[in-house]
Structure 1
Amino acid sequence: MRAVVFEDWKTFPVLKDVEKPTPGPGEVLLKVAGAGACHSDVAIFQDYDADFNPAGLSTGFVLGHENAGWVEEVGQGVTGFDQGDAYLVYGPVGCGRCKACSRGQDTYCENAATNPYPGIGLGRDGGMAEYVSVPARNLVPLGDADPATAAPLADAGLTPYHAIKLALPKLAGADTYALVIGLGGLGLLGVQILQALTGATIIATDMKEDAMAEAEQLGAVTVPGGDDQAAKIRELTGGKGVDAAFDFVGVSPTINAAMQSMAVQGRLTVLGIAGQPYEWTFYTTPYEVELTNSYWGTIEDLHEVADLFRAGKIAPKVTKYPMDKALDAYQDLVDGKVSGRAVVTPHG
């Protein structure tokens, strides 16, 4: 079968023929309907090397951690899955026996340091291929929903959902404000999730006019980037600032802009993985503002994300690429040409 393989550090992935996987005990083989191309993948082949490898990865695996598809075959001991049924794949893979994994939070597995890989498409062969084998536990049913369109929900939907869910106490009531910074695949879904879960006024900001126009269509009020960005955001809130902010970029200027926009006792979650610093000072930070981050989410969260998708309350914007154009999807992502999410559809 054809697959997109990350072969070496600082090297663009390759499209090549690899052996079709066979599901092991407790696993399900999926015929891949869609695999999302994510900036995290770009970081792996563009930024990581033997010295800078925060995920603890080895080279030589199939990319793709945003996956959905149809049941093709089941491994030993697996029951309850019918061939042809559509499922979304929960990407993180923990030890399965610690406290974090027992609550479905494999992202924070207590044995991460000794696990062979952190997830599907992250050390373990992923779904940027015609077929992928995954633990049966990691499958979330999609019913009649389109799995190719649903694929990005495995990360681009799950990551903002988890962060927003944790911030919901800050957004209770109608007189609250939420700020979304960065309107790519995750940010646009973040706007939709905030609309679905809260009554907050949503303020969205980006450097791209077309991205802000899309956010406006989803019900957000937009503010362009610039030196007076925080002042304009505060003006929209009547001077008090935003109660919760979600930074999907994570560079120093965006974190600074968000902190300058916060209300007293607000909560800022940094979700972008740029890894740039922020200098905290007592006198420039509103009192009791929480500055935190989060990583992906729980498998329970992904079930809830799938429910929102099936109910028509959220819908990722996707651009589909056939398998023979899979590398184009990554190149377009690198070049900043992707609006929303690039999804590779190996079977058309």
Structure 2
Amino acid sequence: MRAVVFENYQTFPELKDVEKPVPGPGEVLLKVAGAGACHSDVAIFQDFTEGAPGAQRPEFTLGHENSGWIEELGPGVEGLNKGDAYLVYGPIGCQHCRACSRGQDTYCENAATMPYMGVGLGRDGGMAEYVRVPARNLVPLGDADPVAAASLSDAGLTPYHAIKLALPHLNGGGKYALVIGLGGLGLLGVQILKALTGATVIATDMKPEAMAEAERLGAVTVPGGEGQIDRIREITGGRGVDAAFDFVGVAPTVKTAMESTARQGRCTIVGIAGGSYDWSFFTAPYEVELTSTYWGTIEELYEVVDLFNAGQLEPMYTTYPMDRALEAYQALVDGKISGRAVVVPHS
């Protein structure tokens, strides 16, 4: 079968012929419907070096954002039907620590001893015609389109988890939320905020087309650049937003998020671009929570699918056939993707 393979650090991936995987005990083989191309993949093959935090040892098939139909059941798997469509919860922890027992493999207490972080993260992923995954990591899609849903496993789950944790700051009337970065995660973040809260959503980006999409989804937009923070504070009557979500994570966006947050607000850094922030008691708003999150729980992915099936989430994506999968990654590197690029191996 064909697969997009990460072969070495700081080396662009290759489209190769590899062996079709065989599901082991407790696993299933999925015929991949859609595989989302994520900036985390770019970090894997472009930014990381051996031994760096987050680096995964090559080689393996990329793709941690997957959907598909059950093709084959591994030994011991019962209660699942061939041909049914599922979304894949990507993280894989030890499955016996406290974090894994609550479905939060992202915070596995034994992560340092695991040979990989998840599907497509050290272990062969779904940027291929077929992928094997633990049956426990499947979330049913019902009659939903698995191609449209593919990006929800990360681009939907990650903002959902961050926003859900911030809900106490957004309860009540007259609340404001800020979304910085309107890529695949940010645009879904706007929709999740609209679905879960009554807050006014302010969205900002450097791309006019991304802001136009955010406006269509109900956000008030502010262009990036000079005067950005002043404009955000003007919309909020001068006090700042109750919850800010930075889906980029470079130093300037972290600074914008913090300087736009009201006293006793919450500022969540979701993007993993490695930016730093110079905190000071006298410049940071009093009692602001500056925090980070990573992905989410499998239970929350069920909730994301519920929102999708209820018509409250509309992923923005562009499909690519498998023979153009490398073009999808190049477009991602070049910043030419709006929303998500989803590779469709069996189109």
Cα deviations by residue, 1:109-139 (Å, 9 ceiling, x for unpaired): 0000001101000000000000000000000
Distance 1:20 1:5 in 2: 13
* Secondary structure of the corresponding residue to residue 274 of structure 2: coil
Q: Any gaps of 5 or more consecutive residues in structure 2? A: none
TM-score by length of 1: 0.99
Aligned-CA RMSD value: 0.7
Residue in structure 2 matched with residue 179 of structure 1 by the alignment? 178
Deviation, structure 1 residue 174: 2.3
In the alignment, residue 46 of structure 1 is paired with which amino acid?
Q
In the alignment, residue 195 of structure 2 is paired with which amino acid?
A
Distance 1:258 1:329 in 2: 30
Kindly indicate whether the alpha-carbon contact (under 8 Å) linking 1:176 and 1:242 is maintained by their aligned counterparts in 2.
Answer: yes
* Secondary structure of the corresponding residue to residue 320 of structure 2: strand
Residue in structure 2 matched with residue 327 of structure 1 by the alignment? 326
TM-score by length of 2: 0.99
Q: Any gaps of 5 or more consecutive residues in structure 1? A: none
Cα deviations by residue, 1:9-57 (Å, 9 ceiling, x for unpaired): 11000001000001100001100000000000000100011142x1241
Structure 1 stretches (4+) deviating beyond 2 angstroms? Answer: none
Residue in structure 1 matched with residue 44 of structure 2 by the alignment? 44
Residue in structure 2 matched with residue 294 of structure 1 by the alignment? 293
Deviation, structure 1 residue 173: 1.2
* Secondary structure of the corresponding residue to residue 282 of structure 2: helix
Task: Give percent identity, aligned residues only.
Answer: 75
The residue correspondences of 1:90-109 to structure 2 (distance < 5 A) are 90-109=89-108
Distance 2:158 2:196 in 1: 15
Residue in structure 1 matched with residue 307 of structure 2 by the alignment? 308
- Whether 2:135 is the aligned partner of 1:130: answer no
Distance 1:61 1:119 in 2: 11
* Secondary structure of the corresponding residue to residue 321 of structure 1: strand
Deviation, structure 1 residue 148: 0.9
In the alignment, residue 219 of structure 1 is paired with which amino acid?
G
Residue in structure 1 matched with residue 264 of structure 2 by the alignment? 265
Deviation, structure 1 residue 336: 0.9
Distance 1:148 1:20 in 2: 21
* Secondary structure of the corresponding residue to residue 210 of structure 2: helix
Kindly indicate whether the alpha-carbon contact (under 8 Å) linking 1:269 and 1:293 is maintained by their aligned counterparts in 2.
Answer: yes
Residue in structure 1 matched with residue 11 of structure 2 by the alignment? 11
Deviation, structure 1 residue 237: 0.4
Residue in structure 2 matched with residue 157 of structure 1 by the alignment? 156
Residue in structure 2 matched with residue 236 of structure 1 by the alignment? 235
Kindly indicate whether the alpha-carbon contact (under 8 Å) linking 1:56 and 1:117 is maintained by their aligned counterparts in 2.
Answer: no
Kindly indicate whether the alpha-carbon contact (under 8 Å) linking 1:107 and 1:295 is maintained by their aligned counterparts in 2.
Answer: yes
* Secondary structure of the corresponding residue to residue 132 of structure 2: strand
- Whether 2:220 is the aligned partner of 1:227: answer no
| Paired residue total | 347
* Secondary structure of the corresponding residue to residue 282 of structure 1: coil
